[in-house]
Amino acid sequence: MKVEIWSDFVCPFCYIGKRRFEKALEQFEHKDKVEIVFRSFELDPHVERNPKKNVYEYLAEKYGMSLEQAKATTQQVGKQAEAVGLHYDFDNMKRTNTFDAHRLAHFANSEGKMEEMTERLMKAYFTEGLHIGDHEVLANLASEVGLDREKALDVLRNNGYADEVRRDEEIGRQLGITGVPFFLFNQKYAVFGAQSSDVFMDVLQKVWEEEQAQPSVINLNGKANSNRDDCADGSCSVSENNRG
């Protein structure tokens, strides 16, 4: 089973949704058969690397609310985060452009560290108040998950993996994704938003059962020949490894 997850590192519900999905996956009997692929999505691709407005000012301006209302909104989101074991420090979050962080994540993917890098970037932004648009900070985070710091810096300075980020975003556009988190199971079943772990468990089970179901076949000529691997009698068997 393949699960593709479109998310952004500064999306509060993406981190919450990630935790809820992980809880369901941990309880899923066949979790070792599930492949997780993280896809890039930029909530605000036009934001500057070092914007002057803080999180509260940004929300107030974007949604036409007062600063007090913006803070109240973040408090509600923070409670949802606490419920899944996360602490959001909105006072110290540093809004930034996430394109470089996504490029770093794709570099990490090339080294087999995509999941670790995704988790580290989210924690850095939401709980530690780190600037995940700064190349030095990103390189340090890469080192923490076992990546070569100098290689990471070279990728960041030379626009490495930009095409991979744009490719994910283009796939997202073709799928009609306008918000995140967005979970796609086997390129067939979609779950939008930070749904409950129960919802994710139901989808995991449904997709697994569908994968295991064998199609009903009516044999019209009375010959099964299920153990033959040649092409006699005008038919060729297919090995189990090629069934899909």
CATH architecture of residue range(s) 2-207: 3-Layer(aba) Sandwich (3.40)
CA distance 87 to 80: 10
- 3-state secondary structure (DSSP) of residue 9: coil
Residue 104: other Cβ atoms inside 10 A: 29
Instruction: Give the pLDDT score at 214.
Output: 60
- The burial class, CB within 10 Å (0-12 / 13-18 / 19+), for 31 is middle
How much is the pTM? 0.87
CA distance 208 to 197: 16
Instruction: Give the pLDDT score at 226.
Output: 47
Domain ranges of the chain: 2-207
81 half-sphere exposure, CB direction, 13 A CA radius: 20
pLDDT string in tens for the chain (244-residue length): 999 999 999 999 999 999 999 999 999 999 999 999 999 999 999 999 999 999 999 999 999 999 999 999 999 999 999 999 999 999 999 999 999 999 999 999 999 999 999 999 999 999 999 999 999 999 999 999 999 999 999 999 999 999 999 999 999 999 999 999 999 999 999 999 999 999 999 999 999 999 988 665 555 665 555 454 555 455 555 545 555 4
CA–chain centroid gap for 111, Å, is 17
